[in-house]
Amino acid sequence: MRTALENAFYTSRGNMTYIPISPKERDAMLETIGVKSLDDLFDAVPEKHRFPKLNLPPALTEMEAMQELSDLAQANENVRGDLISFLGAGMYNHYIPSVVDHILRRGEFYTAYTPYQPEISQGTLQAIFEYQSLMAALTGMEVSNASHYDGATATAEAVNLAYAQFRGKRKKVVISPTVHPQYREVIRTYTQGMELQLAGDDQSLVSKLDVATNSTDVLISLTDENTCLLIVQYPDFFGRVYDYTKLIEAAHAKGALVCVVANPTALALFKTPGSMGADVVVGDGQPLGIPMWYGGPSVGFFTTRKSYVHKMAGRLVGETVDSRGQRAYVLTLTAREQHIKRERATSNICTNQGLIALGTAVYLALLGKKGLRQVAELCYQKAHYAAQQLSQIDGMGLCFSEPFFHEFALCVNRPVEEVNKHLLEHGILGGYDLGQDYPALKDHMLVAVTEMNSKHDIDMLVQVLSEVNHD
């Protein structure tokens, strides 16, 4: 008689099995390790824990499961048809050409893994190399790694680089309060136990952040001889665009490095952080052809100057020639990575977001310089039209007067939650509630406008918000 475990084994073989061995092979393996049966193999697990009652509903066929999942999926409201979105704050609703997905789903890329063996990984390596080249060009920097998980983790890795560059002798990082609040949280998580002082965005400064505050002077005064890194965002969390050249010069005068967290779409339109003198440029690659999904997966780009490449985390692909003189790609400078340098490495991250990074590379290659600039211009013009219209609503107004890209803070003079609820009833996904992170900006909404928002969409937002105001 078969035991329960063997029953499970044979039953699964009777249906569609995912266990690749035959009973004969299994018995041979059991004999080799000196175990009589499968049950004996699991003897070490106390009997009462071997088959716990899981209390699951009856099993479904594939057809039934598909129906149930599709019913659940249809209960979601998405930005491709159901809702008009003005929500950004780090994730942006852009058009994704169908070629991007087509290339990503090619088996050669979809299943690709760590390309340690260049002789069998030229396609993956070349794709990463192209991605790196595009990112370096976009940010105006000399070198790019093969990517990180997302913009937040890439920013945290900039802290690791700066800390390592000064060999731990400079123990302070100054962070602008207008860097994405979630990025600032991730930096805190990453740097736990590093004896690092994080300054610039403590609650007293964040709460003072009102209409008149320009934090540049505060950031300069905080950056001292003990500071390894100053972090600013471009455009900042409120969408504002500053030329950081002078700020970067001031930080360099104190010997500190500067990291600029950038929106990649904006870089097609504005001065690059590289030309402002930044030492590290990071950001989230999601706006470049990656869906918003449910907040991820995404990709973090990381570019820097050649002089810091040995302190940079992550994988790096270089171009070389093979023994026959043909162009070839290979992982390079790997001795700085954790699998060789161990605890002396800058970071314990050697991985990259290969597939998503490839998606951004396909997007950029497809749009080209002109196409990306056109996307950025559309975002800029539409956002400015929206801002101009919205600011004319009685009792509402723009929070800041500085130049902005495709996102702006709007004072709605009542709880944002309430306003957004009303917008949702009209099929509009409203802006981010800034009061969540900035108490001084209670009743302020961060409105994002991209090329996906038509004039009709914007006019509708204006109309519904005017109604809210009259309710």
Partner 1 sequence: MNVPAHLKYTKSDEWFDPETGAIGLSDYAQSQLSDIVFVEILVDEGDSVETGKPIASVESVKASAEIYASASGTISAVNKDLSNKPEILNSDPYGEGWMVKVEGATAGETMDSAAYEKYCEERSH
Task: Point out which residues bind partner 1 (CB under 8 A).
Answer: 167, 310, 333, 335-336, 340-341, 344
d(CA 264, CA 272): 10
Cβ proximity to partner 1: between 260 and 331 the closer is 331
CB of 322 to partner 1, least distance (A): 15
Determine the straight-line distance between the first and last CA of the chain, rounded to whole angstroms: 75
The smaller minimum CB distance to partner 1, of residues 225 and 471, is found at 225
At closest approach, how far in Å is the CB of 128 from partner 1?
19
Q: Which residues are CB-contacts of 199 (< 8 A; sequence separation ≥ 6)? A: 172, 173, 174, 175, 222
Quote the least distance from Cβ 367 to partner 1, whole Å.
Answer: 36
Shortest Cβ 333–partner 1 spacing (Å):
7
Name the residue nearer to partner 1 (CB basis): 240 or 315.
315
Closest CB to partner 1 among residues 102, 339: 339
Nearest CB to partner 1, comparing residues 324 and 344:
344
The nearer residue to partner 1, 333 or 460, going by C-beta atoms, is 333
112-118: long-range contacts, CB 8 A cutoff, minimum separation 24: 112/354, 112/355, 114/351, 115/317, 115/331, 116/331, 118/328, 118/329, 118/330, 118/331
Nearer to partner 1, 30 or 333 (CB): 333
CB of 427 to partner 1, least distance (A): 57
Find the shortest distance in angstroms from Cβ 167 to partner 1.
6
Task: Give the whole-angstrom CA distance, residue 343 versus residue 331.
Answer: 21
CB of 377 to partner 1, least distance (A): 42
Residue 337: CB minimum distance to partner 1, A: 9
Q: Which is nearer to partner 1, 171 or 422 (CB)?
A: 171
